[in-house]
Structure 1
Amino acid sequence: MPTSIAIADDHHLVAEALADYVRKFDQYEVLFVAVNGRDLINQIQQSNRIPDIALLDLHMPEMDGFETTLQLKQLYPTVNVLALSMTDREDHIVQVIRNGARGYLLKGCRPSELRQALDEIMTKGHYYSDFLTSQLIRNLNAPGESSVVPIFNLNGRESDFLKMACSELTYNEIADKMCVSPRTVDGYREVVFQKMNVRTRVGMVLEAVRHGLIQV
């Protein structure tokens, strides 16, 4: 079965260009092309066909990509949202990921990156590009630790590690700041990864953002 794609973008030329690219990819099909989020949801309801991935422009009339992501998460939680934007604003990235998006792609990307994003969302459940990672790691600051513990059951030292790891500090620098050995930091990392159900530092940061543990 081909992977089904829905596209929502109020710029018709952009939407059709995206659809044309997707149709050229093996094992992908385009179900809908909508002019905004409300139109997309209406088409899903009327056709009773739920796409595997929704490519959503963030800025659309009536229902933008931020609200559409929330609505899809509530109504059709199996839909994986890939957000599309002309800008790389950190607050937009953080907000749409918190709303449930599985990736963020600039419209100026090459078709090969679009294909990579679609493939990784289907195989890994997310697309964390180098661009997305650098924007989040560089610009995020941690809030107080009280909100960290209840969600993932982290103790105080694990919470300290999480906050420092969501920055540009290396693991050796984290060890120095925590006054422990690098081996101990490795232990914190493995425990936090397990509790947050992630495999990489990038995944940890994204989960922290998704649960509101990190603020711009």
Structure 2
Amino acid sequence: MHINVAIADDQKLFRKGMAALVNSFENMHLIFEAEDGQHLLDLLGNVQEPPDVILLDLSMPNLNGLETLKILKENHEAIKVIILTIHEAENYILATIQAGANGYLAKNAEPEEVEKAIIEVFNNDFYFTLPMLEVMRKGLVKKSLPMVFESHNLTPREKEVLELICKQYNSNEIAEKLFLSNRTVEGHRNNLLLKTGNRNTAGLVLYALKHKLIDLDTFSH
């Protein structure tokens, strides 16, 4: 496993510190750093090997994190994005997840958590801490937020697959657990994304929380 990482943050000292931290992790390499969203998009257009994971600050001049994320997901859908922020309000979290973010990391996180977040997003497509999930759950029950979640007819098997996805099992592990082929599991995952109108696994986790298909205890194992 080798993970290429990029970072976009307008605070130079923080950005340099994160760059050094990422390069200190085993099997990780920071391929470039950007000072804002526009700079990130410009650099992406000129690299031969794109990053696997981008650490993206939410509050930046020229092009903020949310606007950058939307453009990123349109043009570089395969790249995973972890939002870096001091804002832990649910409307920020939900807006970025809806726009396609794969995870969320507070700027005061421990170095071990930064490493864990990058690895989990790379392997499992999403990373949330329990406090973040609690904030999201509270946000989802507030009707004032612009969340569009209709009730969908998921099959019992799809619900089963969704629960295992939320428990952070990958496709191979789900296939083994349910005695299915990998292709069948991927089919269920694609159906879940289509039925719920979500961009990625992080969105499926939100959907499962919203419809009480899982509870937060699911994530503590």
TM score, norm. by length of structure 1: 0.71
In the TM superposition, what is the alpha-carbon distance from 1:88 to its structure 2 partner? 0.8
Distance 1:94 1:140 in 2: 8
Distance 2:207 2:55 in 1: 19
Distance 2:53 2:90 in 1: 23
Aligned counterpart, 1:97: 97
In the TM superposition, what is the alpha-carbon distance from 1:206 to its structure 2 partner? 4.1
Q: Is the 8 A contact 1:57 1:84 kept in 2?
A: yes
Q: What secondary structure sits across from 1:88 in the alignment?
A: coil
Q: Is the 8 A contact 1:56 1:82 kept in 2?
A: yes
Q: State how many pairs are aligned.
A: 175
Code of the residue aligned with 2:57 in structure 1: it is D
In the TM superposition, what is the alpha-carbon distance from 1:2 to its structure 2 partner? 2.4
CA 1:50 to 1:205, structure 2 compared with 1: closer, same or farther past 3 Å?
A: closer
Q: C-alpha deviations, 1:33-71, integer Å up to 9, x for none?
A: 101111011011122331000000000011111011111
In the TM superposition, what is the alpha-carbon distance from 1:125 to its structure 2 partner? 1.2
Code of the residue aligned with 2:159 in structure 1: it is V
Q: What secondary structure sits across from 2:123 in the alignment?
A: helix
Identity within the alignment, %:
26
In the TM superposition, what is the alpha-carbon distance from 1:87 to its structure 2 partner? 2.0
Aligned counterpart, 1:192: 159
CA 1:209 to 1:43, structure 2 compared with 1: closer, same or farther past 3 Å?
A: same
Q: C-alpha deviations, 1:146-180, integer Å up to 9, x for none?
A: 9524xx444xxx9xxxxxxxxxxxxxxxxxxxxxx
Distance 2:82 2:106 in 1: 10
Cα-Cα RMSD: 2.9
Distance 1:71 1:210 in 2: 23
* Aligned: 1:37 with 2:37: yes
Q: Which runs of 5 or more residues in structure 2 are unaligned?
A: 169-199, 212-221
Q: Which runs of 5 or more residues in structure 1 are unaligned?
A: 159-186
In the TM superposition, what is the alpha-carbon distance from 1:19 to its structure 2 partner? 0.2
CA 1:91 to 1:3, structure 2 compared with 1: closer, same or farther past 3 Å?
A: same
Code of the residue aligned with 1:48 in structure 2: it is Q
Q: Is the 8 A contact 2:85 2:106 kept in 1?
A: yes
In the TM superposition, what is the alpha-carbon distance from 1:197 to its structure 2 partner? 8.0
Q: Is the 8 A contact 1:38 1:62 kept in 2?
A: yes
Q: Is the 8 A contact 1:50 1:76 kept in 2?
A: no
In the TM superposition, what is the alpha-carbon distance from 1:138 to its structure 2 partner? 2.7
Aligned counterpart, 2:218: none
CA 1:65 to 1:204, structure 2 compared with 1: closer, same or farther past 3 Å?
A: closer
Q: Is the 8 A contact 2:102 2:127 kept in 1?
A: yes
Q: Is the 8 A contact 2:125 2:202 kept in 1?
A: no
In the TM superposition, what is the alpha-carbon distance from 1:3 to its structure 2 partner? 0.7
In the TM superposition, what is the alpha-carbon distance from 1:128 to its structure 2 partner? 1.8
Which one has a bigger Cα radius of gyration? 1
